[in-house]
Structure 1
């Protein structure tokens, strides 16, 4: 195995302050990439510094806005001279509840959180990939396209799958690959920024437990995956080892295809 798969590559990782995105960004840097860690959490620079050396940078941006996506790509290109790989890790269900219990503003918030950052960054990065003569986009979707207590989030991730497939077809002749993984439930350290800033009621906690039980029982292994078990396939798809794979959404959910 080539453990310097990203040597000479500029990699932008969004959602890099915690969770799967953090793991992806740190390992891409360990494998030789020049990595821009992007998040709206201001401690993202601390995470980038964990990699050591001068081949990483943290950048604070709100990717729920197009301006955030545009500024991210401009920063990466100026810092490291271009962009080769974009890995989209922003997203995550804010609330879990029966669909009938969602308020309209909550539905909108779920779509903004888990669809729009990927749509915006895919658009904003294209000029840089085209200038480079090609590149790779890896979207982190979810197997929650089939699941309970999070229909708006499921809809957003279905949109991410559609972006992946349509964009791959449209830009294959420009040497741009677009792929995705669809993680299942993943064990991670406690979040420094909470999923739901407003906090969960006892009823919402009960609904979340129902979703957790469904996710666990839907896997063949009857357990959550680890961060490392999610990072490895993401970086495989981002690397040249996956050069003949595009338009695919790879389930990484212990047998649950979503």
Structure 2
């Protein structure tokens, strides 16, 4: 397939995991990529794509802040002239524990990590899409909006779902589609950059095991998904194959609807 031939595709959080796999598969289908991350590991991903004959640049930015998101989208447009597709992939649980054990600053950090990058990037990319009356935004949410030991993360991803539905309504008649994928548990290589700022003690490990058990139990298929199963859904939503779909959050959790 070559669904993204000559499309300008921005992927945030492209250093590892789902974001990296999405970027690699977009390149395989002819897309020209801007990979945004605050880690230089995304520069290695871009270099790997170029080594295979693809086109990709790396833009370093902290997307938890408006200035970082605005800078990143501006640089992408300066490099390629436009943004056809924005895939908002930044986010992820930092801590996993019952809500009463979260400190206020941890709650704020979870929301800052998993809501604001999507909110800011949508706002930063939207004007150039509306000016051209063309564009697709794919937000990466989570089925963990209904799960154990992740209330602040669930709140953030619930916000991503709300952004998707409300923004889609605003811009559908102006040529822009807004959709979301909600991944379930996903098998991936060990993270090069851990989300958790320190070592987990025995209690924290037990709480984390609870979310693993719940994720498998909630899936009708009783397993985690693969990176390609998650990337495939995201790429479908981003492609013209989904041209009559907007405002939708698609659960990709083996039957777990979140």
TM bin, normalised by shorter chain, reads: over 0.9
SS of residue matched to 1:51: helix
TM-score normalised by structure 2 residue count = 0.98
| 1:18 Cα deviation from its structure 2 partner | 0.3
Indicate yes or no: 2:47 matched with 1:46. no
Q: 2: distance between equivalents of 1:31 and 1:199?
A: 39
Q: Is the 8 A contact 2:27 2:54 kept in 1?
A: no
| Corresponding position of 1:202 | 202
Match of 2:18 among 11, 17, 20: 20
| Corresponding position of 1:131 | 131
Counting only pairs closer than 5 Å after superposition, residues 20-99 of structure 1 correspond to structure 2 as 20-52=18-50, 53=53, 55-99=55-99
Q: 2: distance between equivalents of 1:256 and 1:9?
A: 32
TM-score normalised by structure 1 residue count = 0.98
Counting only pairs closer than 5 Å after superposition, residues 1-258 of structure 1 correspond to structure 2 as 3-52=1-50, 53=53, 55-258=55-258
Q: 1: distance between equivalents of 2:200 and 2:108?
A: 18
RMSD: 0.8
| 1:127 Cα deviation from its structure 2 partner | 1.1
Q: 2: distance between equivalents of 1:7 and 1:133?
A: 19
Q: 1: distance between equivalents of 2:129 and 2:41?
A: 28
Greater mean alpha carbon deviation, residues 127-136 or residues 188-197: 127-136
SS of residue matched to 2:69: helix
SS of residue matched to 1:166: helix
Greater mean alpha carbon deviation, residues 50-59 or residues 14-23: 50-59
Structure 1 unmatched runs, 5+: none
Write out the 4+ residue segments of structure 1 that deviate beyond 6 Å after TM superposition: none
Q: Is the 8 A contact 1:84 1:132 kept in 2?
A: no
Q: How many residues align?
A: 256
| 1:81 Cα deviation from its structure 2 partner | 1.1
Q: 1: distance between equivalents of 2:35 and 2:29?
A: 15
